[in-house]
């Protein structure tokens, strides 16, 4: 079904990563719970489901440090759906939990995938996918080699040969991933739910994309990064942030007519109805750090591709729908670049709540996506706990003055966010449920547990929150 969602429609959404669904193997996936969640969205008349990146998770289990900008992670494959597709019976003990143990999940699912692979027979649909997925052969070779080398960085590989069966297994994984995802997306679209995908602007060095496209990045002759990404010191970090991703060689990309980015957005356009791109400002000016310095504050601002990239993207993909993360201390040219293409920006309500002059912002730019917070922020309840009783009383009074009288303060904030004039408003599931920071997804500048581990234990836990959220959606004409 063709997706009819347009970015000027006043509508609402929920932010919930696929991994945070309940699932039956210790992680959310493309199985029954995902379909039941869509049903609950349809019942509440919520039309946008924003997820986190689905690419193969790499360092620190972060979906923003992945092994490919195109491939999908096998951990999202529903084992039950796979066996049903193959018409093979199976029996396995379920893993029901409220935290994700990624190593356990991979071990369990990989064993089932290996078994299922022995029952798989290639057909025309498989052959069509292999032909259409222009990135596939690079990825399956990269991933096969990575596994042969005990998952080490490609800089340290000593084994450089793979057999055809290993390549075929990786092709099989990608085929199953994409047919399951496309089935789920079609189910959502048929119920007037559009999928908002999310892609990081930068790619991990240890990825198929960098390995096979080294001229597109700032690397030395040995393949090591010479310039890496990050951000300078700011309110949130006195030392700045050193992300470590290799920077794009934009001069080379321009010489290649930005084909790498066109290919990337082309595939993501097949995956999602709308694409959110993080760190949009780097298309205007990006912070370049000498890889040898290891200090974010020693970087410098460099002019990015600006309009040349987006002219090329829209010439090749005129129907591309993009939402951009345009937060932080920005120079005016960043917003000019955004507005040149009428791109939807973002507003984080959590950043503006603690003000005496809180208002409904009736003059706010409508071409914005309002959030209470994102995966990188505290939950609203966690933020309120940090705010303290005095600050919470002030905020409760302010919101009541504006007409928001919900009993629970976090619900007043949800109501306020939905009531803003922004065309789109998306609320994280944790804020709909009123959960504290134990349900926070990620804390920037930290690596490892508990980041990326929170998940729902059952869908029953969201019933009351979803029902009330539906009343707020209706009350705010979304």
CA distance 218 to 291: 10
Q: What is the pLDDT of residues 418-427, one digit of tens each?
A: 999 999 999 9
Annotated catalytic residue 290: no
User: Which is more confidently placed, 358 or 115?
Assistant: 115
The active-site residue, picked from 311, 376, 385, 436, is: 376
Split at pLDDT 50, 70, 90, the class of 2 is very low
Nearest to 78 by CA among 14, 46, 34, 39: 34
Q: What is the pLDDT of residues 161-191, one digit of tens each?
A: 999 999 999 999 999 999 999 999 999 999 9
Calculate the average pLDDT of the chain.
95
The active-site residue, picked from 29, 325, 431, 453, is: 325
pLDDT at residue 352 greater than cutoff 70: yes
Q: What is the pLDDT of residue 26?
A: 97
Annotated catalytic residue 278: yes
pLDDT at residue 362 greater than cutoff 80: no
pLDDT at residue 3 greater than cutoff 60: no
- Burial (CB count within 10 angstroms: exposed 0-12, middle 13-18, buried 19+), residue 151: exposed
Q: What is the pLDDT of residue 329?
A: 84
pLDDT at residue 139 greater than cutoff 70: yes
Q: What is the pLDDT of residue 363?
A: 63
Single pTM value for the model: 0.96
Q: What is the pLDDT of residues 274-329, one digit of tens each?
A: 999 999 999 999 999 999 998 999 999 999 999 999 999 999 999 999 999 999 88
The active-site residue, picked from 206, 278, 326, 350, is: 278
CA terminus-to-terminus distance, the chain:
22
Contact 14, 429 (CB under 8 A): yes
Annotated catalytic residue 222: no
Q: What is the pLDDT of residues 280-291, one digit of tens each?
A: 999 999 999 999
Taking the CA atoms of residue 463, residue 464, residue 470 and residue 473 in that order, the dihedral angle to the nearest 10 degrees is -130
Q: Match 């969205």 to its residue by tokens.
A: 41
Q: What is the pLDDT of residues 201-227, one digit of tens each?
A: 999 999 999 999 999 999 999 999 999
């Amino acid at each position: 079904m063709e997706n009819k969602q347009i970015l000027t429609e006043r509508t609402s959404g929920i932010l919930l990563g696929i991994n945070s669904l309940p699932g039956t193997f210790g992680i959310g996936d493309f199985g029954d719970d995902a379909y039941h969640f869509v049903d609950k969205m349809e019942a509440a008349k919520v039309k946008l489901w924003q997820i986190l990146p689905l690419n193969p998770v790499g360092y620190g289990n972060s979906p923003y440090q992945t092994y490919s900008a195109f491939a999908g992670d096998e951990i999202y494959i529903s084992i039950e759906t796979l066996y049903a597709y193959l018409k093979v019976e199976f029996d396995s003990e379920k893993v029901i939990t409220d935290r994700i143990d990624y190593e356990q999940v991979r071990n369990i699912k990989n064993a089932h995938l290996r078994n299922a692979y022995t029952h798989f027979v290639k057909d025309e649909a498989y052959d069509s996918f292999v032909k259409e997925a222009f990135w596939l052969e690079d990825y399956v070779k990269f991933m096969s080699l990575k596994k042969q080398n005990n998952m080490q960085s490609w800089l340290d590989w000593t084994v450089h040969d793979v057999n055809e069966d290993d390549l075929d297994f990786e092709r099989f994984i990608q085929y199953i991933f994409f047919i399951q995802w496309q089935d789920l997306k079609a189910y959502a679209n048929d119920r007037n739910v559009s999928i908002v995908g999310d892609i990081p602007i930068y790619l991990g060095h240890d990825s198929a994309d960098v390995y096979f496209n080294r001229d597109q990045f700032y690397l030395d002759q040995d393949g090591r990064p010479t310039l890496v990404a990050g951000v300078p010191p700011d309110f949130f970090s006195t030392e700045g942030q050193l992300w470590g991703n290799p920077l794009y060689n934009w001069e080379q990309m321009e010489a290649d007519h930005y084909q790498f980015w066109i290919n990337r957005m082309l595939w993501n356009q097949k995956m999602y109805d709308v694409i959110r791109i993080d760190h949009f400002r780097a298309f205007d000016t990006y912070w370049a750090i000498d890889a040898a310095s290891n200090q974010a504050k020693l970087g410098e601002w460099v002019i990015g591709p600006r309009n040349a990239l987006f002219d090329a993207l829209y010439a090749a993909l005129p129907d591309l729908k993009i939402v951009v993360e345009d937060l932080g201390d920005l120079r005016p040219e960043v917003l000019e670049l955004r507005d040149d293409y009428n791109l939807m920006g973002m507003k984080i309500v959590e950043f503006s709540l603690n003000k005496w002059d809180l208002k409904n912002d009736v003059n706010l730019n409508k071409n914005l996506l309002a959030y209470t917070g994102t995966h990188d922020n505290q939950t609203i309840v966690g933020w309120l706990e940090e705010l303290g009783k005095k600050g919470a009383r002030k905020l409760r009074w302010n919101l009541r003055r504006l007409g928001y009288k919900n009993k629970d303060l976090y619900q007043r904030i949800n109501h306020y966010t939905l009531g803003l004039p922004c065309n789109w408003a998306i609320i994280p599931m944790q804020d709909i449920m009123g959960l504290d920071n134990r349900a926070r997804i990620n804390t920037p500048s930290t690596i490892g547990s508990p980041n990326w581990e929170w998940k729902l234990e059952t869908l029953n836990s969201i019933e009351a929150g979803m029902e009330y959220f539906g009343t707020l959606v209706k009350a705010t004409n979304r």
